[in-house]
Every structure is written in structure tokens, then in C-alpha cells.
Amino acid sequence: MPPAVKPPALCIFDLDGTLVDSLRDIAEALNECLELLGLATHPIDRYRYMVGEGVPKLCERAVGATHPYLVNRLIELARPRYRVRPLRHSRPYPGVVAMIERLRQASIKLAVLSNKPHDMTVSMVRAFWSDHTFDYVQGYVEEQHRKPDPHYVLHICRELGVRPSEACVIGDTPTDVETARRSGAIGIGVAWGFRSRADLTSAGSAHVVGAPAELVALLGCGA
């Protein structure tokens, strides 16, 4: 465990793979759509390396190089298919609910920033946390502002009155690491999600934690 960092004023969390284990629901929805198009499906575990950059990128990776003309059709199918079943298997990772509560008790402002469509991001957060748990929740709206673009990190900081250097961006993929770097925030990788500790370290994350309790300790908010 690296030395504790100065407790931040704000923690901005990724959603899928960081707060919530949603991989099976995403994979099953995409595979159903691939089958409708007569394309090969993928093992659930392979989706760990497909998700994280929004639905268009996910569909592009799922189709691969063999049928590029079907990417837009897969996008059209995937959004409504996943929308009706996002919570069939998805749940917060063990220890995450207690972690969020501990950070709130430490008077740290909390936000969610996801590349999942905005309405679905809001719905998923509300399914597992009360309306007053997070100070700001933001999902994908415009392609040009999709993570790793820093736009929404900077927007959230302005809205909550926090300097980016006083904020942590916390996520499970290299996309989150790059988002932190571009926004001037502290980047923290979580190795309990979709990507490995090695992936996050290779992406340049100075801090990587393996469990929610380790994140609480890193931020100096332990009991």
C-alpha cells in the first residue's frame, strides 16, 4: 500500500467496473445483438477489454474488422437491448457501499462520471444509492466530451467549487487514468474491476488499490 495521499475535497468515480460489476449484463446484451446480426459472440471475460469508452466504441470492438458496415446497426440494437436489462446481474462490488459511506462521513464530496449513457447512469446510481449520496452524477451525452476528454471532470469541479488538483478521479481502466491526467486531478486506479493492476500501472496511474478498504486508507479516511 502506497503512503496515504492528502484527503481530497472531491472523489469522482467511474461507474461500470469501479462502483458496480455490470460486465455480465453488458456482455449478454451485446451477445444477443451480435446473434441477431449473425455475428460471432464473445466470452464474457473478453468484454473487460472492450468496455470503458462508450457504446459506439464497444460495438466497434465487438464487431471487429470483418464487418465494419454492421457497427452502426449493432449500436442501434444494443442501446435498447441493454436499456431494458441493465440490472439483471449488476451489483456494487463487495465493500463499495461501505467505502462510499465512509468517504461521505469524512465530508468528501462525491460524484459519478461514466461513459454509459446519461439516463442509464442516473438510473443505475439510483438503483443502489439514495438521491443524496452523490453530489453530482454525469453520464455520456456528447461524443466530443466522452472520457478521457476532461470536460466533465472540469465541469463537476466548477459546479461543486473544487479545484481539479483537489479532486481524485477513480476508475478501473486506462481511460480513467488518462481522464485524470488531462484534467489535472489525482488519478487512482482500482484493480478490483474490469482491468488489471498491470494495465493501470502501464497507463501511468501512480496509485492503484486492490480493494475498497485500501482506497479508504489511501485517502486517509480509515477508522
Class of domain 10-21+91-218: alpha beta
Whether 207 contacts 2, CB under 8 Å = yes
CA 197 to chain centre: 16
Whether 120 contacts 86, CB under 8 Å = yes
Domain residue spans of the chain: 10-21+91-218, 23-83
User: Per residue, what are the HEC states of 172-209?
Assistant: CCHHHHHHHHHHCCEEEEECCCCCCHHHHHHCCCCEEE
**Residue 191 is inside which H or E element, if any?**
none
- Using the structure block, give the residue that is written with the C-alpha cell 466533465: 152
Q: Report the distance separating Cα 30 and Cα 148, nearest Å.
A: 23
What is the reported pLDDT for 223?
A: 53
Whether 16 contacts 116, CB under 8 Å = yes
Q: Report the distance separating Cα 170 and Cα 219, nearest Å.
A: 12
Whether 96 contacts 214, CB under 8 Å = no
Catalytic residues: 14
Whether 24 contacts 44, CB under 8 Å = yes
Q: Report the distance separating Cα 203 and Cα 223, nearest Å.
A: 31
Q: What pTM was computed for the model?
A: 0.94
Q: Which residues of the chain have pLDDT under 70?
A: 1-4, 222-223
Whether 111 contacts 11, CB under 8 Å = yes
- Nearest of 179, 177, 168 to residue 196 by alpha carbon: 177
What is the reported pLDDT for 221?
A: 84
What is the reported pLDDT for 4?
A: 66
